[in-house]
Amino acid sequence: MRSGVRSTISAAILAAILAVLVAAPAWAASRIKDIVEFEGVRDNMLVGYGLVVGLNGTGDSLRNAPFTRQSLEDMLERLGVNTRAADATINTKDIAAVMVTARLPAFAASGSPIDASVSAMGDAKSLLGGTLLVTPLMGADGQAYAVAQGTVQTGAVSAQGASGSSITRGVPTAGRIADGAIVEREVGFDLDAMTQMRLTLRNPDFTTAARIAAAINAVFPGCAEVDNPTIVTVKPPPGHDMVQFITDVENLEVHPDGPARVVVDEVSGVVVMGEAVRISRVAIAQGNLTISVQESPQVSQPLPFSQGQTAVTPQSKVKVDEEKGKKLLMVGGGASLTSLVAGLNALGVTPRDMISILQAIKAAGALQADISVM
């Protein structure tokens, strides 16, 4: 009964989503800034190695994590504490070696704060409540572009009893430090000195690239040229600097195009269809056939003093249920997404049944779209 309710709810949710998609304008315009990436305007990845201290006995075991012990000894030596003597013994579990990562935004100025992510490297159980010590964050060129430090927030819950039973929610060995890194070095990028810029489409398409160039040339004649389905090269007109030109270009609206595609997630039963999906003339029938076999073994006991033996007699009951009321649906040639959705809803199919129907229509050669199964 509960599975049937879930199936009904899933079908209702899917029908509502499809209704919204159908009701929306077929050609919704988008700003150029939302469908392209601008050359040079990008994030840069930073990474660093550091230590988290102040853990409540949930840090690395120094015997199993020699890099943590070595890092601790080096740090203490820089602070004037000698821990390498023969009689010095370090046996703490309040420290953990971590990798720190961050994204350096485009045009980030020196002194700007950015978020940092912290992940344990050794056998630490949790980073909850720990403090990351000063950690330089390096770029791909080996130069330090930011420095991170602060209290780690994991957003996880972990508890353990004396008998060994434990419960964990989330990932306690990874966390974030909001605004925990300070930019120390800027990435050199002189946008105003550029004479041309390439716009990279996030979803490469010949038609979309041509429409972007046409929209730009309508306002700035001769300033845009299509190189390929991915790249559109633009040049500022005389008397315009690159910054102001890109500001004007990124707010122009175009109608993105794309191939007809049906995306299917068989695990969650989600089906997403684009407006360009077309169906050739095809007939669809859908129904469910359920065969249930129930075993009820019977025990046969012999009469007293009859010299008989106890025996088990198999009893089988086979039942066949076929769903009634489903009719053959005819979908006309060149049917749009609207007709397809209306027809499948008329059959009363569930999302998982819809996946099977779409795959069968594709196999019959009547679905003019690609099916992507996740």
Residues 229 and 264 in one domain: no
Give 291's pLDDT tier (boundaries 50, 70, 90): very low
Residues 22 and 151 in one domain: no
Residues 335 and 235 in one domain: no
**Cα 280 off chain centre by:** 34
Total number of domains in the chain: 3
Cβ–Cβ contacts within 10 Å for residue 351, how many? 19
**pLDDT tens digits for 129-146?**
899 999 999 999 999 999
**pLDDT tens digits for 208-242?**
999 999 999 999 999 999 999 999 999 999 888 88
pLDDT greater than 70 at residue 4: no
Q: Decide if 33 is inside a domain.
A: no
Q: Decide if 209 is inside a domain.
A: yes
Residues 178 and 196 in one domain: no
- Where do the H-state alpha helices sit in 283-350? 337-347
What does the pLDDT read at residue 8?
45
Q: Decide if 294 is inside a domain.
A: no
Residues 109 and 235 in one domain: no
Q: Decide if 208 is inside a domain.
A: yes
Residues 250 and 281 in one domain: no
Give 284's pLDDT tier (boundaries 50, 70, 90): low
Query: CA nearest 54: which of 150, 136, 171, 121?
Result: 150
Mean pLDDT of 278-287: 70
**pLDDT tens digits for 19-60?**
444 444 445 688 999 999 998 888 999 999 999 999 988 899
Residues 9 and 113 in one domain: no
Give 373's pLDDT tier (boundaries 50, 70, 90): confident
**Residue 351, domain extent:** 2-26+260-287+325-373
Q: Decide if 308 is inside a domain.
A: no
Q: 92-96, 173-177, 178-182, 367-371: which has the minimum mean pLDDT?
A: 367-371
Residues 50 and 178 in one domain: yes
User: How many percent of the chain have pLDDT more than 70?
Assistant: 72
pLDDT greater than 60 at residue 281: yes
At 170, which helix (H) or strand (E)?
Answer: none
Mean pLDDT of 249-264: 87
Picking from 254, 279, 302, the residue at the C-terminal end of a domain is: 254
Cβ–Cβ contacts within 10 Å for residue 33, how many? 15
Residues 7 and 89 in one domain: no
| Better pLDDT: 158 or 355 | 355
How far is residue 11 from each of residues 6, 23, 51, 250, 339, measured CA to CA in Å? 9, 18, 50, 39, 17
Which sign, positive or negative, has the C-alpha torsion 217, 222, 224, 228? positive
Picking from 205, 235, 254, the residue at the C-terminal end of a domain is: 254
The answer to whether residues 254 and 212 touch, using CB atoms and an 8 Å cutoff, is yes
Contacts of 367 (CB under 8 A, 6+ apart): 262, 277, 279, 280, 358, 361
Report helix angle 2-23 to 337-347, nearest 10.
Answer: 160
Q: Decide if 222 is inside a domain.
A: yes
Q: 10-19, 248-257, 274-283: which has the minimum mean pLDDT?
A: 10-19
| Better pLDDT: 350 or 31 | 31
Contacts of 239 (CB under 8 A, 6+ apart): none
Mean pLDDT of 80-84: 79
Residues 227 and 279 in one domain: no
Task: Read off the CATH number of the domain in which 247 is found.
Answer: 3.30.70
Residues 110 and 88 in one domain: yes
Q: Decide if 318 is inside a domain.
A: no
pLDDT greater than 90 at residue 3: no
Residues 178 and 195 in one domain: no
Burial of 127 (0-12, 13-18, 19+ CB in 10 A): buried
Mean pLDDT (the chain, rounded)? 79
Mean pLDDT of 285-310: 64
Q: Decide if 227 is inside a domain.
A: yes
